[in-house]
Amino acid sequence: MSESLRMWVEIIFNITYLIVVWGLVITMFLRRGELSAEKRHLANLIIAAFALLALGDTGHVGFRVWAYALDGLESQVTILGRSISLVGVGALMTAVTVTLFYMIMLEVWRVRFNRRYGTFEYFLLITGATRLYMLTLSINEWWRVVPEQPWSTIRNIPLMILGLGLAYLILRDSIANNDTTFRWIGVSILVSYACYIPVILFVQQAPMIGMLMIPKTVAYLAIGFLAYFDLYHSDLPTSVRPAGRRAA
């Protein structure tokens, strides 16, 4: 694929994605009044998670489109007298919001399956907080279009632990309770990481591998639509009492 074609594929996908994800968030928010009190609590958590995701991605993919419209991904703009990298600021925004997304989705898991936080769940929250702290360090060099190794991998380790740990909890309890919606949500999280991990590890050596971010993003949309149809187009209960012991 030529560089020009890759750019246009990315631009068209990014714009379409932002329209869809914000449309989903707005639709869920406007329809909250249709839900029972029990469903509304779960819906509010999911809306908050996806609003954060959409906000961060507006910076991440939206600023990439803006940079392309200027003079390429290295483009900078001046704000309050300071020159900043559009791609770098967007990357920081999505790094923060995707971490918060998974932390809120951990609460979605707890509410859905009537669970209590135990040692493992608190460990996941600590990894999320650790990730947020790591994002504040100067070593991140957010002005770079492509982050340098090994820090790119190091700063993503807590996010991988958080997301994969959440996927484990969701899959474990959805399978135990025959919860088809959340089983597919768990699978979608695994798919997103299967696409994301190669990008983290190898994008410096093979920039085209960055195209895996497209199916990764589609996996997030799948999570959103699965949750939407479960909440607004299903008579199934939104919370269950799982069999077996609570998570340690």
| CA–CA dist 31, 35 (Å, integer) | 8
> pTM higher than 0.85, yes or no?
yes
Q: How high is the pLDDT of residue 91?
A: 87
Written as tens digits, the pLDDT of the chain (248 aa) is: 676 777 788 888 989 999 999 999 999 999 988 888 888 999 999 999 999 999 999 988 887 887 787 777 776 666 655 666 777 888 899 999 999 999 999 999 999 999 999 999 999 999 999 999 999 999 998 887 778 889 989 999 999 999 999 999 999 999 999 999 999 999 999 999 999 999 999 888 888 898 899 999 999 999 999 999 999 886 444 444 444 434 43
Q: Classify burial at 142, counting beta carbons within 10 Å of its beta carbon; exposed 0-12, middle 13-18, buried 19 or more.
A: middle
Q: How high is the pLDDT of residue 131?
A: 97
Residue 18: how many other CB atoms lie within 10 Å: 17
Q: How high is the pLDDT of residue 81?
A: 58
Pull the structure tokens for residue 131.
Answer: 């990730």
Q: Which of 49, 91, 105, 103 is nearest to 199 (CA)?
A: 91
| CA–CA dist 147, 145 (Å, integer) | 6
Q: Classify burial at 223, counting beta carbons within 10 Å of its beta carbon; exposed 0-12, middle 13-18, buried 19 or more.
A: buried
What radius of gyration, in Å, describes the C-alpha atoms of the chain? Answer: 19
| CA–CA dist 246, 114 (Å, integer) | 9
CATH 1.10.10.10 correct for 3-232? no
Which helix or strand (DSSP H or E) is residue 78 part of?
strand 76-79
